Structure 1
Amino acid sequence: MLDNTQQAQKIHRRKSSVKVDPYESPDLYYGPITDPSNVNSSFGRLRTRSVIAPRATRRFSSSMTFMHDDASAEELASDSIINADEHGHDNDYNERFAETLLNNAITDHSGASEGEGRAAAAAASIQQTDSPAYSDFLDLKDLKALNISSSGNNSPVISDSDDDNKADSLDAVSMKSHSTGSLVAESDMERSNDTSSDISQIRRGGAPPSSKRLPDDPFGTLKSKFKSTSGFGAQPHVQTHAQTSSPSPLESDSKSQSSSSFSSLPKNSVPPPTPGYPFTTINRKLQSPSPSSPTIRRRASADMSSSRVNSKRFFISDIDATLKELLRNEDTDQNCQITIDDTGPKVLKLGTANSAGFNQYDIRGTYMLSNLLQELTIAKRFGRKQMILDEARLNENPVSRLFRLITTYFWKNLTRQVTRDSILEMAKDTKIKTEEAKFPRIYIPFSEKEQYYYYSKISEANKEFNLKVEYLPEIITDEFVKSINHKPGLLALAVRHRSNTYGDLEGYPYVVPGGRFNEQYGWDSYFETLGLLSCDILEPCVGMCENFIFEINNYGKILNANRSYYLCRSQPPFLTDMTLKIFDYIRAKTNKIPLDFLKRAFMAAIKEYDEVWCSPPRLDPVTKLSTYHPGGKGIPPETEASHFNAVLKPYCEKYNLTFTEFQQQYNDGLIEEPELDEYFLHDRAVRESGHDTSYRLEGICANLATVDLNCLLYKYETDISFVIKTYFNNKLEYNNRIETSEKWDKLAETRKELIDKYMWNEEQSLYFDYNIKIQKQSPYESVTAFYVLWAKVCSPERANTLLRNSLHKFEEFGGLVSGTEKSRGEIGVSKPSRQWDYPFAWAPHQILTWDGLKNYGREDIARRLSYRWLYLMTLSFVDFNGIVVEKYDATSERQPHKVEAEYGNQGSGFKGVATEGFGWVNASYLIGLQNLDVLSKRALGMVTSPTDFFAKMNPLEKDKYGLK
């Protein structure tokens, strides 16, 4: 028969890492005995609303006799602290000795290749996947087997028991458990917690044991093997680590190394501290904090949460009341966020559980308090009334925290999938404000009979939602698209069969950008794919690629997004490289070659190349270069209602009409204004370019053969040539003709010559867009000039010239700006800021430039630029309540997320906690971390300004960052 303590431990046992959904809370497995609200449980109702349940520490004593030869220096330090009362050594001596050992251990770490943990985890998962060989492509089972989501593991180890007055059994100590600090579970959070000897000593009136606790291994790789021979009996303490997912960014750069510096010491002896060692850098008291002198708890480590030294656990007995109190004290601007703009006291006093709220701890600073707000908000949204929260969640290294949130939380919340349940919500449109737009609607391609049947059955089964299911015509014209602008709808995407039953379908999962952009967007999907693959999430990547193939085959192009008003508009083409990234990932993880998938994707890319980008009106017959030149008529309906008021005002005055009246008559063709027609042609072209809006393109976009578009098409040509030659024996049948690599090599060589002829400016050492109407280069200096590096268009010599003479024009404090200040000109009332101009920086430009630099062997510059960009993101994340936004001000050193241009910044309007980030910005953080080394990751974790970081480097370090 189990006693109450054993029952409580059994009920409160966490699930294993493979059974816990990372998006569900692992924190509150309460039963009748462990429920803190139950007065009969071992958790009493305490005086404070929020209390800390501190981890009781193991009594440290000398055990050199039983040390393993391969024990780490940290372990030696932990087990070599001698009780002052028993051995006569003072506490300062113990502290200095322990710190010496710890610092020696940390110094000995060496870098490890990025992604080794991810590769190992993926390979292990794949070996367990019993999937059939590829006949066509991966089926659903295969994809889910490969969908290995990684998360950071820079976290404390957590005990299985929440009762500090109960001793853990050896079984409980070694059991795999999970952090109680957040509703996002991690797979590697464990903590051994043995208090039997300490509790016994306290009850007999002895002095309280030392709370001294050495920091855990900052890289999470050192293994502990403790054997204690002091106290009240020889009790082995084993701390085991179960198999974990991919390492956090801070942990992926170091390998564990055993320290044997003291292996030759005599038994039961303690070496003296290192002479001259500076002990002033760390000063942790060995005794527990007194009630009269509250201990300040704050983050202060480059590699890990400082609370791992002596991590506490908070019991929040009333989440609603705690949230209310926190916001009342700290959220002075009342936006449901705690930021550096708030003027509250920035301190929360919490009492410990062991002292019944008597001993007090101060939690200070914007970062920790905002993290508390985020954790409480998530718990409240899960319907929790109470929660247990580990202190390590509040002062977690910001790099590890953001990495963890992106990989386990943000991607999840940005993923969409059409199902019988989700379509009713997804089909609604929030951008259009007409009567017809109030009802959910989906448009089906003319040839997709089974999809029409599927959605019609859903509509019939849910008549209260009034889902409209409509066919598109076989030939989609500009006039038709304009005619349905008042009744917008979602466009059907690719589906797969759930069974052999006709009409039993489901959509592929895909990722949306976030904010007001709740559909699958064109070039966003490429960068999201790069980010997803970097953390081993495959299925949405395949889904987005399948959707692009479907769009080309059914709508004629890769769409701006899958809404009806985007039917005439495309976006920058990335399909070939996106397909190859997915294809290479699958080959590396499975040793299988999905040739059918590769063939279907590249045949769709050839169709898009021929019919969209190299056909009128997008192909210029004179230069043979391509332009952004979409179809469509009238005013783009998805824009803000007042977006074009300044442009339309003269015409409204001319016809004596209101804005609404003029827009209606102009869209209906009752008013003809050729100049206005041309303006909206260029406006739609700007939106097709993805750079909406910018003075670089405004009013002339359809006349520009842009550097970025023609570099992307050059990449199409080289990719198609490579795939035909490598995988299809130099022969690919398409549309009753044979495609060969020689044809596409010639097309690529011709385009390269045209880019150099029309776009390269020797005097300026820069590539410029070419205006086909006036037949001269545009004077606007754009960062898209560096697309030539990503597509490998230019020679190494020209690449060096470009970097030497022009990179400095775009490199600012926080990365690469979209264009130069000189090109933008003065901003004022008559010329407002545009979001794709100076001083704003965007993730796609950073990512493509980083990869382009690495193509030409300039990893040093890529590392420097990556640090600048990631610093902006980390600074905003730390100072502004975990914010991750669509774009940043690259010149702002304090508030880079604040963008006063056009519609503001997507991702900044959340309440309490950011749940999505922004698609390609999330990806940029994961990709950028891969470019950094250990030094820069540590500096980033300390939120070190690029100015300070680069200035304090020695010459050898500067060389690694291209700072000669």
Structure 2
Amino acid sequence: MASVATTPAAAVPTPADRFGPLFEAVQMRRIFPDGKTFVDSVPKRPDAAILADYRKGSFDDAALKAFVLANFDVPGLEPVPESDHGPRLPIERHIAELWPHLTRDPVTPPPGSTALAVKDRFVVPGGRFRELYYWDSYFTMLGLVADRRQDLVESMLDGFVDLVERYGHVPNGTRSYYLSRSQPPFLYLMMGLSQNRDPAVAARRLAALKREYAYFTTPERSVTLPDGAVLQHYWDARTTPRDESWREDVETAKAAGRPVGDTYRDLRAGAESGWDYSSRWLGDGRSLATINTTSILPADLNSLLWGMERAIAEGAATSGDTATARDFGDRAAKRGAAIERWLWSEAEGRYGDYDVKRRLLRDGVTAATAYPLFVGLTTGARAARVAGTIERQLLAPGGLRTTRVDTGQQWDKPNGWAPLQWIAVAGLDRTGNRALADKIAQRFLATVQREYAASGKLVEKYDVEEVKPGGGGEYPLQDGFGWTNGVTRALMERGRGS
């Protein structure tokens, strides 16, 4: 494939780079309860002038907060509207009325902002997540399709392609501090939701997919296994604490007892996975201080890369580029064989994550086991075995558990997340396991409906064991919420047989 220009993304200064000692003081002293608040603030004057004045003073916490408020425009949380007081609107109508509230116009960042330019309209998740996010958006788009908002599907897709063209990949989110990593590569699946049939647009999108593929398959992201197969892991170009979770990462690294840069990269790679955080990435399966994401070859990432390889092959074949079609078809065949060999447990009837350092498949079933079914890699007997494993071990009263381990991390039991409900339901549907798909869909919809009836909100995650709002993680439960809205609407449409 054609060579790809080196992305400058990792070199873009973040707030930590720009404000140094001021940044560290604000974050380590927790001047704002949420570490994301300061990194989303916009300086009112040049960085150097603010830093010069900061260095002249001595600030207790109250004075430091006053200094920040005087020198930065600090964002607040825009409340997400609940359903009208009195009888609730039907949830379907409520979601339709939330889309305009969560939609943002094109972004031209003011000087000093960490926001990245976004060329067209887009939908945000809600709450503290006030920018465009990568994998969230696929699940949001499912709801937009159900609500006949194809205009937003196309504009968001155009925005993602533009981001790949500018940075070499879709960043985790549209902020400078997210540029050093991506998120699970759902771009090819988003393209599958498009109704645009313009050959010029198709060519541009195919070029973007090839460039994203190059980003996800660089040597630092790749591991060659004993039989010569190559699989990928999550990664981040930086080895510093995440700007938006600086204090939390510093504290985790202190407890890790190894080079701090290694811990920081593993934390960042865990954030790229979207499962931030989960027992999947923890060396001992329990403690965040043992995180080793970059040593793990995940079932979900490699399934998505298989799907991307297939999509590139199909796009190339359509355009008449038979050499590229053959190349990527061969890549997909090799990856599929590697997934079936290295990421499958015959004894347990599940897909999992391969630990490179320990040279074995990590213990425990997780919701990621459904990904090979979802992307179309696995059918037949293995798919039936996965379905049985999911029903026995992950099905809960309120939907699909994320894992079987309760660590206090948000991507573990007892939480269930909208995107993983959809991955499982769609994968089970695709492989003929409709009855189990129905159970998961019906239980999760009932969970969402129950909380909506109680609070008028759709939230980021749910406790599917006690059938209530979820918990855990680094920040309070958010409502809004883009992917819950999207998956809820898509599951409702599925239930109608549409």
TM-score band w.r.t. shorter chain: 0.7 to 0.9
What are the residue-to-residue correspondences of 1:306-455 with 2, within 5 Å?
A: 375=84, 394-395=86-87, 401-407=90-96, 409-418=97-106, 423=108, 442=109
Q: CA deviation at 1:898?
A: 4.7
Q: 2:219 aligned with 1:616, yes or no?
A: yes
Once the two structures are superposed, what CA deviation does each residue of 1:353-411 show, in whole Å capped at 9, x if it has no partner?
xxxxxxxxxxxxxxxxxx9x9536xxxxxxxxxxxxxxxxx446x6xx1100111x111
CA distance in 2, matches of 1:613, 1:645: 27
On the 8 A contact 2:416/2:461 being kept in 1, the answer is: yes
On the 8 A contact 1:863/1:931 being kept in 2, the answer is: no
Once the two structures are superposed, what CA deviation does each residue of 1:903-938 show, in whole Å capped at 9, x if it has no partner?
23101xxxxxxxxx200000111011123259xxxx
Structure 1 match to 2:489: 926
DSSP 3-state at the match of 1:562 = coil
Unaligned runs of 5+ in 1: 1-336, 338-370, 377-393, 424-441, 443-466, 469-486, 495-507, 587-592, 652-672, 732-737, 828-832, 908-916, 935-964
Moved over 6 A (4+): none
Q: What letter corresponds to residue 106 of structure 2 in structure 1?
A: V
Structure 1 match to 2:445: 870
On the 8 A contact 2:102/2:125 being kept in 1, the answer is: yes
Q: What letter corresponds to residue 928 of structure 1 in structure 2?
A: L
Structure 2 match to 1:708: 300
Structure 2 CA distance for partners of 1:816 and 1:375, relative to 1, 3 Å: closer
Structure 2 CA distance for partners of 1:806 and 1:922, relative to 1, 3 Å: closer
What are the residue-to-residue correspondences of 1:218-617 with 2, within 5 Å?
A: 375=84, 394-395=86-87, 401-407=90-96, 409-418=97-106, 423=108, 442=109, 467-468=110-111, 489-494=114-119, 508-583=120-195, 586=196, 593-610=197-214, 612-617=215-220
What are the residue-to-residue correspondences of 1:845-924 with 2, within 5 Å?
A: 845-880=420-455, 882-893=456-467, 896-907=468-479, 917-924=480-487
Structure 1 match to 2:234: 628
1:819 to 403, 406, 410: 403
CA distance in 2, matches of 1:814, 1:602: 39
What are the residue-to-residue correspondences of 1:714-863 with 2, within 5 Å?
A: 714-725=306-317, 727-731=318-322, 739=324, 741-821=325-405, 824=406, 827=407, 833-863=408-438
Structure 2 CA distance for partners of 1:800 and 1:374, relative to 1, 3 Å: closer
CA distance in 1, matches of 2:255, 2:496: 56
Q: CA deviation at 1:730?
A: 4.5
TM-score by length of structure 2 reads 0.77
Q: What letter corresponds to residue 638 of structure 1 in structure 2?
A: E
DSSP 3-state at the match of 1:929 = helix
Count of residue correspondences: 407
Q: CA deviation at 1:418?
A: 2.3
Q: CA deviation at 1:795?
A: 3.1
CA distance in 2, matches of 1:395, 1:861: 33
CA distance in 2, matches of 1:574, 1:650: 34
CA distance in 2, matches of 1:898, 1:814: 11
Once the two structures are superposed, what CA deviation does each residue of 1:845-873 show, in whole Å capped at 9, x if it has no partner?
01111111111122222222111000000
CA distance in 2, matches of 1:803, 1:820: 16
Unaligned runs of 5+ in 2: 1-78, 283-290
More helix by share: 2
On the 8 A contact 1:862/1:931 being kept in 2, the answer is: no
Structure 2 CA distance for partners of 1:509 and 1:633, relative to 1, 3 Å: same
DSSP 3-state at the match of 2:474 = coil
Q: 2:243 aligned with 1:637, yes or no?
A: yes
CA distance in 1, matches of 2:83, 2:194: 34
Q: What letter corresponds to residue 495 of structure 2 in structure 1?
A: L
DSSP 3-state at the match of 2:384 = helix
Once the two structures are superposed, what CA deviation does each residue of 1:89-135 show, in whole Å capped at 9, x if it has no partner?
xxxxxxxxxxxxxxxxxxxxxxxxxxxxxxxxxxxxxxxxxxxxxxx
On the 8 A contact 2:417/2:462 being kept in 1, the answer is: yes
CA distance in 1, matches of 2:176, 2:377: 36
DSSP 3-state at the match of 2:244 = coil
Q: CA deviation at 1:567?
A: 1.4
CA distance in 2, matches of 1:650, 1:529: 40
On the 8 A contact 1:522/1:560 being kept in 2, the answer is: yes
On the 8 A contact 1:792/1:855 being kept in 2, the answer is: yes
CA distance in 1, matches of 2:137, 2:360: 33
DSSP 3-state at the match of 2:192 = helix
Q: CA deviation at 1:840?
A: 0.2
Once the two structures are superposed, what CA deviation does each residue of 1:786-813 show, in whole Å capped at 9, x if it has no partner?
0011111123111112212443200000
Once the two structures are superposed, what CA deviation does each residue of 1:879-924 show, in whole Å capped at 9, x if it has no partner?
22x011000000014xx115244323101xxxxxxxxx20000011
Identify which of structures 1 and 2 has the higher relative contact order when contacts are C-alpha pairs closer than 8 Å and 6+ apart.
Answer: 2
Which has more radius of gyration?
A: 1
Once the two structures are superposed, what CA deviation does each residue of 1:636-656 show, in whole Å capped at 9, x if it has no partner?
1111x64246435569xxxxx
Q: CA deviation at 1:488?
A: 5.5
Once the two structures are superposed, what CA deviation does each residue of 1:651-709 show, in whole Å capped at 9, x if it has no partner?
9xxxxxxxxxxxxxxxxxxxxx9621111110000001011111211311111110000
Q: What letter corresponds to residue 185 of structure 2 in structure 1?
A: P
RMSD: 2.2
Identity over the aligned pairs, expressed in percent?
A: 28
CA distance in 1, matches of 2:428, 2:247: 41
